[in-house]
Amino acid sequence: MSKIKFLFLISVLVITFSVSLFLGPRIINPFELNGTDKEILLMIRLPRVIVATLMGMALGASGAVLQGILRNPLADPYILGISSGSALAATLGLLSGMYMFSNFSIPLTAFIGASIVSILVGLFGWKKGGLWPGRLLLAGIGLSFLFYAILMLIISISANEVTRRALLWIFGDLSIAEWSLIPYGFLFILAGLYICISRAKALNALMLGDDFAHSLGFSVHRERLLLFASVAIMTSASVSLGGTIGFIGLIIPHIVRFLAGADNKKLIPLSALCGGAFLCIADMIGRTIMSPAEIPSGIITAIIGSPYFLYLLRKKDVLST
């Protein structure tokens, strides 16, 4: 990607962030702020946009990494069952009434659930001293079905209020975003991004086969474990911030790969930036289009993402890059 294209992309992302900050059910003029506008901007809009950006960055980068280590163009951060585990943990937290004690209790419960599932998937995917892509994928799918089945059982026998809260969490509820959650999510997502970007060269080699990566001096199992850990950290943090949101990790890497190529040194950071921008747009649409009611961001990303993904499936040259 040329410097001009890169600068243009950064400009678009900054504009997207700004637009999602000032547009909404109430349009805010940044040059004429009154007391109410400042309150809305600083206490509601800004933390929500920051959370959307962080979540989108985590999911976009995670999708790029997973599609590389699994060598599967349909791989997605939630295919490993992390989202179902965190949603189940959050629902159990809601049932126990933990949300009445602290706003941070449910995100913490979701993060713990996602972390436990990540460890389980890693254990099932471990064989002969390393993580094997096929086992990892099948373990994630199996655990995902199991946890979602338990989750649906709980929702079907729960009270209406708990059911509503759980469904909002499953489809991505950014309305819970607040300043106290941001530092923790930022640190975990930054750590995950640092790991996967620093191992981008190894990921390039893994995509060409284990034997080729080994011939270049990379420890295949060690690199795959580090990259899987980065995905688990970022996805867990993302879910704890605002629930489960699909399609970002699936389609964003394909779009970026089509525009900037398959080199993970560029693909991972650009997927993170574009994922953040995409979720900001989806959240802005969700809180505006049916105001004062809100549509969960996960529904918007699915409505926008699924047709484009079906279009990508028809373009074999895109999926084979």
**Quick one: which H or E segment has residue 130?**
strand 130-131
pLDDT band at 305 (very low <50, low <70, confident <90, very high): confident
pLDDT at 281: 92
User: What is the overall mean pLDDT for the chain?
Assistant: 83
**C-alpha distances in angstroms, 203 versus 6, 182, 251?**
22, 29, 19
| Per-residue confidence (pLDDT) for residue 321, from 0 to 100 | 46
**Mean pLDDT of all residues in 295-305:** 87
Residue 107 pLDDT more than 80? no
What is the pLDDT averaged over residues 264-293? 90
Cβ neighbours of residue 201 closer than 8 Å, sequence gap 6 or more: 264, 265
Residue 178 corresponds to which tokens in the numbers above? 């607040």
Reading the block at residue 166, the tokens are 């759980």
- Per-residue model confidence (pLDDT) at position 56: 95
Alpha-helical regions (H) of the chain:
3-22, 35-40, 46-69, 82-96, 105-125, 133-156, 160-170, 182-198, 200-207, 210-215, 220-242, 248-260, 264-288, 297-314, 316-319
% of the chain exceeding 70 in pLDDT: 93
Domains of the chain, CATH where assigned: 74-172+188-241 (1.10.3470.10), 245-321 (no CATH)
Q: Contact 225/131 with Cβ under 8 angstroms?
A: yes
Once rounded to an integer, what is the mean pLDDT over residues 105-126?
82
Residue 241 has pLDDT above 90, yes or no: no
- The answer to whether 73 and 321 have CB atoms below 8 angstroms apart is no
What pTM value is reported for the model?
0.87
**28-46 pLDDT, tens digit each:** 887 787 888 888 888 888 9
Q: Bigger pLDDT: 111 or 67?
A: 67
pLDDT the model gives residue 192: 93
In sign, the C-alpha dihedral spanning 6, 4, 280, 30 is positive
Q: At what angle do helices 3-22 and 264-288 cross, to 10 degrees?
A: 20
- The answer to whether residues 253 and 313 touch, using CB atoms and an 8 Å cutoff, is no
Contacts of 285 by beta carbon, 8 Å cutoff, 6+ apart: 295, 300
User: How does DSSP classify residue 296?
Assistant: -
pLDDT of 316 > 60? The answer is no
What is the pLDDT confidence band of residue 271, given thresholds at 50, 70 and 90? Answer: very high
Q: Is the pLDDT of residue 317 over 80?
A: no
Give percent of the chain above pLDDT 90.
21
